[in-house]
Structure 1
Amino acid sequence: MNVRRLIPAAALAGAVALGATTLTACAGTGAAGSSADGKLDVMASFYPLQFLAERIGKDHVKVATLTKPGVEPHDLEITPKQTGLLGEADVVLYLKSLQPAVDKAVAQSGVKNVVDAATLTPLEVHGTSGHDHGADADHPEEGHGDEHGHSHGEAAEDPHVWLDPVKYAEVAKGVGAALEKADPGHAADYRKNTEELVARLTALNTEFEDGLKNTATRTFITTHAAFGYLAERYGLDQEGISGVDPESEPSPARMKDLQAVAKKENVSTVFFETLASDKTAKSLASDTGLKTDVLDPLEGITDKSQGADYFEVMRSNLKNLQKALGTK
């Protein structure tokens, strides 16, 4: 994962504007896109960006995604054909550092109309928990790595901004601005759709704020430490079993540490996700007498997802958190 400094608030507007002005749209004359049906061709790297493009673009865009349903985004491999399709798109939406294969493909494709979602909202550094344990105090050599092999000592930034509705709304605004620039003939529609989506995300944020105000514990354990922004937003403590890579094996020291955390913080549930193995979650739950449940990082929607789209799955996440944390 690339290490970048937090983006100052003053630079955020400029970043959004830059992301939009880099779009050398074939729509410069006000035409829609280069596809046969006149729609703007948008290629999204994975589901959260696909969702934004579809909700903001609606009938004016044709959206494709590089990450098919059921594929774990972090492990995505890009084919030469997909790299070629990137170069043909009117707009490419991706989140730099989340998927190394996509970063490489975007660079190789020569595509000019690129929007990096990582420039649209400030990224932060999150450890495996709200307490930021990092390396175990008794085992400093066993720090928790991220999905690209970095240790938390390298201060890698967390890309999972879409799990915080407030930050996701900031990304939505940037995507909306980019579509307006690429297809000025429909700018008013994109602006209206963006405002409607941001309003829904604002309401979702309120639901989470109200729903997580009074709980018996503020700590939750998850296999995939993707919920740092969500935890920070709502005053929770995330304890990741093995960092941000859902498939990596936790050290014995980490499992022992989590058993102690579960007991101290009255944790009732170990969360796993739909796109990765639940082996580590079930192992920890078995050792500690805890229950298991799903907390979905929303990197893709499948028939196993607890909802058909972003909003439905996020509300399922809220219900599962409320149950696990003991909402009063």
Structure 2
Amino acid sequence: TVSVLYWPDTPHCMASTRASDAPADDAVAQLQEADREVEAFIELNRNPDAVTQRDAVRTAVEEFVRRHGAQRRIALVTSGGTVAPLEKQEIRHVTNLSTGQRGAASAEWFLRHGYAVIYFHKTGCLCPFARHFQSGAFLDDVKWDPAAPDAAPTFSDVCAKAMREHRQFVVEGGLLLRVPLHTVVDYQLGMKTILETTRDTLASMEVSNARTMVYLVSAVADFYIPFNELPKDKIDSRPNDPSMTIHLKKVPKALARGLVGRLWGDGAFVTTFKLETDESRIDAKVLKHINGFDNIRLVASNLHATIRSEMKLHDTREPMNPVVIRKPESGELEEELVARVVAKHNEFVEGRW
């Protein structure tokens, strides 16, 4: 049994009162310059028909935060992959693959811990509660009597629980806001819009943005082709040319330059994920990640070979002394992962970080 927790007595001090976190003037100037670069990237490469639209996202997030922000903490969970199109009328693309399993499962556990969740996800990836029905496997567990075709089918315990909790948290509670994305431009635009809107809405309510959890699980593309360099139509497959050369440019980094935790989501609690394929390199990569990104609090790392069974959670105060989290025999790894992240967030909100 999981208790649903609330924090109505949390002091509503503003995040800017954390003197140790307040950036100096030169750092502010660097943040503003980085923000202008990302905004220029968005405006130059945004597809007018994109699934992520700034005004619609801003309105939905503001209404969601105003409804829940005073009584509950807000968790922004990013999930799934991102793509970099190779044509304006997209047929082909370069993609960073992710099913969204970790993000969807984690979002469910944040809901059970009392958070209101903004689920910023790749279209078509797994989603909270719906993930239990998004593969054909669940049909094997549906029981139906062909002799009584009008009788209602019965479902497995897992599916029945998912339906109950979806009604409790989503339909009746309104505690899940889904925001779709497709391209890496959608991701940058959505992150900026969601974080800024959450920050400003909480400030207008005199609620600290330290109560906001930013949980970055998405597989984000590092490279793209500028929109004005994309062909309008599908790239031809020329039978006499056995190869095709593509020139990609680097996507501006929002997290590495402090925008996520120090400007867009000023004062929020940021958790990132690091996936590697070489075990001998993972500790060095995590340390480099932590030293390079001064706006994050936790890094969850794992190997591709054990992505579903084991993970390390690194506290940036003691990065080389991680907690090892393993999938239990019955249950899922995300249950303990989110519980530990929530415990760290408690320390942060209560000023013990």
Does TM-score exceed 0.5, indicating one fold?
Answer: no
> Which has the larger share of strand?
2
Higher relative contact order, chain-length normalized (CA < 8 Å, sep 6+): 2
Q: TM-score, normalised by structure 1?
A: 0.32
Tell me the TM-score normalized by structure 2.
0.30
Q: Which has the larger radius of gyration?
A: 2
**Structure that is richer in helix per residue:** 1
